[in-house]
Amino acid sequence: MTRILVVDANEAFAALLQQELENMEMRADIAASGHEALRATAATNYAMAIVDMGLPDVPSAQLVRALRQEHPDLRLMVIPLEGDGVPSELADVSIQGTLPKPFFLPELPERIRQALTRPLRAPVEEEKAPVPAPAGEVAPNVLPLMSRLAQEVGAEAVLLIRGGELVAHTGRMSENGVSALTALVADAWRASTRVAQILGKEQLRFEQSIEGAEYLLYSLAITEDLILSVVVAGKVPLGMIRHRAKETAEEIRKAL
């Protein structure tokens, strides 16, 4: 029998969903919090978890990422706070379906069927990448912007560097690689600043691209000391990377 975990703090909604799933001859358990969900999935082999994005005890996106990382074969549905699409902060995570709240009862069987049969994709970044570093001083909606940029240009890594120090990053590059690139970008930024001082000129906005045999590194200053860097492997045109990086940099600047 297919076993599904419903993760929702709304007792009435969770009970309704549980009943409808059982009417479909499935077994449904309820977890009222993120911590309960982690304990349940550790103890039981579920086919799918349906996670509400408004959990009170933990950020739901963080829970979804943890479930995907710890249980690669677990199918995931999310209940968005608004609308019927996958939330932007989970754009880089393998999600099999969504369920609006409230939902139209006759649609539920087909939504569940599709989610249970939709192939699991396993992007490298989901399996190997560290969870993006805490945003620290940047606004919480900056990381989704970085993740979207990484997805759009197929980036190995997207870094946000402030004053020579790594603030946040996303992508599939190793921690050692990210640290090395942070130092490289910071050195280039400091050198650019020093050259401007020697020439007695005010530094223009920092922008740099370095192209190797397999990789392209593009960096752009968002503010005087905040730099966005993108590392791309393959033959993605520099013009495309520059265009999307500048658009993302402007969105990040507005979000600060």
Structure confidence by residue, pLDDT tens digits, 60-112: 998 999 999 889 999 999 999 988 888 888 988 999 999 998 888 888 999 99
Average pLDDT over the chain, rounded to an integer: 85
233 CB-side CA count, 13 A:
6
Cβ atoms 235, 154 nearer than 8 A: no
pLDDT at residue 205, rounded to an integer: 64
Lowest mean pLDDT among 4-8, 76-80, 148-152: 148-152
Residue whose token pair is 């860097």: 229
Last residue of a domain, one of 72, 96, 122: 122
pLDDT at residue 110, rounded to an integer: 93
Give the strand pairing for 75-79 and 48-52. parallel
Please check whether residues 135 and 202 belong to one and the same domain.
Answer: yes
pLDDT at residue 124, rounded to an integer: 39
Band (pLDDT 50/70/90 cuts) for residue 133 is very low
CATH number for the domain including 96? Answer: 3.40.50.2300
Higher pLDDT among residues 126 and 157, named by residue: 157
Higher pLDDT among residues 214 and 17, named by residue: 17
Mean pLDDT computed over 166-188: 86
Identify the domain containing residue 249 by its residue range: 128-255
pLDDT at residue 202, rounded to an integer: 53
pLDDT at residue 128, rounded to an integer: 39
pLDDT at residue 144, rounded to an integer: 85
- Considering only CA atoms, give the Rg of the chain: 21
Mean pLDDT computed over 5-19: 95
Please check whether residues 163 and 212 belong to one and the same domain.
Answer: yes
Dihedrals φ, ψ of 69, to 5°?
A: -70, -40
DSSP 159: E
Band (pLDDT 50/70/90 cuts) for residue 8 is very high
pLDDT at residue 218, rounded to an integer: 92
Last residue of a domain, one of 89, 122, 155: 122
pLDDT at residue 248, rounded to an integer: 93
Please check whether residues 160 and 94 belong to one and the same domain.
Answer: no
Please check whether residues 38 and 82 belong to one and the same domain.
Answer: yes
Q: Does residue 132 sit in helix, strand or coil? A: coil
Cβ atoms 246, 219 nearer than 8 A: no
Mean pLDDT computed over 40-54: 95
Please check whether residues 156 and 244 belong to one and the same domain.
Answer: yes
Band (pLDDT 50/70/90 cuts) for residue 173 is confident
Band (pLDDT 50/70/90 cuts) for residue 32 is very high
